[in-house]
């Protein structure tokens, strides 16, 4: 039988061309025009591969991918190829994180498209054959009793022998289906874990089991060569009779001389992070990743007290006008330096704060201290607008009144405060965001769309918002001098801003060629390492004083 391909594309002419090429190549094709229709058709059509556009109405391709990977059946692992215009990097990165298998850039090269699809389908076929060969060479796990897993006491007894072994393997077996009660849930999860163990035994008879809990089982796996195969096997859900599971695996490289219990804790923490994301995954916890995990665990424990103790700090990165060499504003950026860990990257502690429900508290700390910084600038006779990023969770009805109260307490005029809201935060609930934006703007606060161009919608929403400025996403600036598509997109965005009477700021400017191009395209201001690195408030004051 020919492979089935679900083709999801909102442009009718392109969809028809894609379907014709796929049928000519011998595939059975079902065409749908949007993401919702794709999800409706998925269980009935049961495709062998999904070819899906990213930018579509009703539901974009990334949302379709996320919904597919979150399914609890065999279709969760169907190969997924995304169609993207201009090779948009931010979408590619997000798609990779969600479990996309490949990309084809529009306008599509049909020879490349057919080759990509054949490669993905062949990979799935090889995976099934390898799994079948290994299963045929092992015993029938449904014909003999399932063994008991060792408990924590057994784990501690094995520790001396484990020190010299190579790899720790953790397998997530979380059950998402609702159960009648806790006893049934625990019983079914336990059965699932046993099935996972049987499967691992069939793949690596030398694996030594040493621990379990309600979400995962763990084993020492002496053969690191199996990891590439594991990554490929994960493209298909593990199946035993009527039971199936898309497993999450974390392979942790053992460091000689280190404590295995500590390594197990770090690998299990990595597993817990993996289970938050949809779809099967295989992650190696090496020395670099282990350092990150230790920092993240530290952050979860210490961030609440760091906020309460004012152990954080604001740095300020100036914005420079392109028409004349002067500072026209600065963005407040959060920094955290710990005596034991040193400087902790915001790329680590901000996502951790989001995951732990602390992002609102963290955002309020930044807002409060940025307004105090404005008061200090005013005390030195310095007129400068300070920009503060607002997260989606802060866009609540009480935000305008809260900002107004903070400004009054610090005796700061609202015109010196700029609030930057990311495009994705605005688009989450545009009517609600627009209502809050209007109230903030009525106070005299300047409003800017941050990371403009990184969202997954058209620009019509700009009509709904009382904006002052657009901040061009750094992904367009990074390759401005070499990527023709990025240059044209940047030129279009800057022209759109001028037509709407909005100021423009380009972030991430790091070389003179970028600055020259942005000036020629009509950008108003830049922010980046070329102009100035983030600095403490005292350094900013020193730079601004005559």
Identify the three-state secondary structure at position 236. coil
> Which residue, 186, 170, 203, is CA-closest to 275?
170
pLDDT tens digit string along 151-194? 444 444 554 454 444 555 666 544 333 333 333 433 444 445 55
What DSSP string runs through 41-90? Answer: HHHHH--SEEEEESS-SSS-HHHHHHHHHT-SSGGGG--EEEEEETT-HH
- What's the 3-state SS for 22-45? HHHCCCEEEEECCHHHHHHHHHHH
* CA 465 vs CA 200, 349, 441, 462: distances in Å: 55, 31, 10, 5
pTM comes to 0.59
> Which residue, 425, 431, 429, 430, is CA-closest to 449?
425
Neighbouring residues of 515: CB distance < 8 A, sequence distance ≥ 6: 322, 509, 526, 530
The answer to whether residues 363 and 391 touch, using CB atoms and an 8 Å cutoff, is yes
Q: From CA 34, how far away is CA 406, in angstroms rounded?
A: 45
The answer to whether residues 474 and 508 touch, using CB atoms and an 8 Å cutoff, is yes
pLDDT tens for the chain, 546 residues long, are 478 999 999 988 889 989 999 998 889 999 999 988 899 899 888 899 999 998 887 788 888 888 888 776 778 878 899 888 654 556 666 777 677 888 887 777 788 788 788 877 876 665 555 444 444 444 343 333 333 333 444 444 554 454 444 555 666 544 333 333 333 433 444 445 555 566 556 555 555 565 554 445 566 555 555 555 555 555 555 444 444 445 566 777 666 666 666 777 777 777 777 666 555 566 777 777 787 788 788 888 888 888 888 889 999 999 999 988 899 999 999 999 888 778 888 887 888 887 777 888 899 999 999 999 999 999 999 999 999 999 888 888 999 999 999 999 999 999 999 999 887 777 767 888 889 999 999 999 999 988 887 654 556 778 778 999 999 888 888 888 888 888 888 898 899 889 989 999 999 999 999 999 999 999 999 999 998 999 999 999 999 987
Q: Which domains, and CATH codes, for the chain?
A: 4-136 (3.40.50.2300), 143-285 (3.30.70.270), 317-335+357-544 (3.20.20.450)
pLDDT tens digit string along 385-401? 999 999 888 888 999 99
* CA 340 vs CA 42, 78, 302, 343, 348: distances in Å: 51, 45, 12, 9, 16
């Amino acid at each position: 039988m020919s492979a089935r391909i679900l083709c999801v594309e909102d442009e009718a002419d392109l969809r028809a061309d894609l379907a014709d090429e796929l049928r000519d190549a011998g595939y059975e094709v079902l065409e749908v025009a949007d993401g919702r229709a794709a999800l409706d058709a998925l269980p009935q059509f049961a495709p062998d591969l999904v070819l899906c556009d990213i930018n579509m109405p009703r539901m974009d391709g990334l949302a379709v991918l996320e919904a597919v990977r979150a399914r609890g059946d065999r279709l969760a692992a169907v190969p997924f190829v995304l169609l993207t215009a201009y090779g948009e990097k931010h979408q590619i990165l997000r798609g990779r994180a969600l479990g996309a298998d490949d990309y084809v850039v529009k306008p599509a090269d049909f020879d490349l498209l057919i080759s990509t699809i054949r490669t993905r389908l062949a990979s799935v076929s090889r995976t099934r054959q390898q799994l079948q060969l290994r299963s045929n060479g092992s015993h029938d796990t449904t014909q003999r009793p399932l063994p008991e897993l060792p408990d924590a006491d057994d784990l501690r007894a094995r520790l001396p022998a484990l020190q010299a072994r190579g790899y720790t393997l953790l397998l997530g077996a979380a059950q998402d289906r609702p159960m009648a009660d806790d006893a049934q849930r625990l019983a079914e999860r336990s059965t699932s874990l046993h099935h996972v163990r049987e499967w691992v035994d069939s793949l690596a008879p030398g694996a030594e089991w040493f621990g379990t809990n309600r979400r995962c089982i763990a084993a020492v796996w002496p053969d690191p060569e199996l990891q590439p195969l594991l990554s490929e096997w994960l493209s298909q859900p593990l199946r035993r009779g009527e039971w199936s599971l898309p497993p999450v695996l974390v392979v942790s490289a053992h460091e000689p001389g280190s404590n295995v219990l500590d390594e197990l804790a770090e690998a299990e923490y990595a597993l817990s992070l993996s289970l938050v994301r949809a779809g099967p995954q295989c992650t190696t916890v090496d020395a670099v990743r282990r350092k990150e995990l230790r920092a993240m665990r530290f952050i979860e424990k210490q961030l609440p007290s760091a906020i309460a103790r004012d152990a954080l700090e604001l740095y300020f990165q100036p914005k420079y006008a392109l028409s004349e060499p002067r500072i026209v504003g600065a963005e407040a950026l959060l920094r955290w330096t710990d005596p034991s860990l040193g400087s902790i990257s915001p790329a680590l502690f901000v996502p951790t704060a989001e995951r732990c429900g602390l992002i609102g508290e963290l955002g309020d700390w930044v807002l409060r201290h940025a307004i105090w910084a404005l008061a200090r600038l005013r005390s030195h006779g310095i007129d400068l607008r300070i920009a503060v990023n607002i997260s989606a969770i802060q866009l609540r009805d009480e935000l305008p009144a809260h900002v107004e109260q903070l400004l009054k307490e610090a005796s700061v005029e609202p015109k010196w405060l700029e609030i930057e809201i990311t495009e994705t935060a605005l688009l989450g609930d545009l009517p609600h965001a627009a209502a809050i934006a209007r109230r903030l703007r009525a106070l005299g606060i300047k409003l800017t769309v941050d990371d403009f161009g990184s969202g997954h919608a058209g620009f019509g929403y700009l009509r709904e918002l009382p904006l002052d400025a657009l901040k061009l996403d750094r992904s367009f600036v990074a390759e401005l001098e070499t990527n023709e598509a990025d240059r044209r997109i940047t030129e279009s965005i800057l022209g759109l801003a001028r037509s709407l009477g909005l100021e423009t700021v380009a972030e991430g400017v790091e070389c003179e060629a970028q600055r020259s191009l942005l000036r020629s395209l009509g950008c108003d201001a830049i922010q980046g390492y070329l102009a100035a690195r983030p600095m403490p408030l005292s350094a900013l004051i020193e730079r601004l004083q005559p």
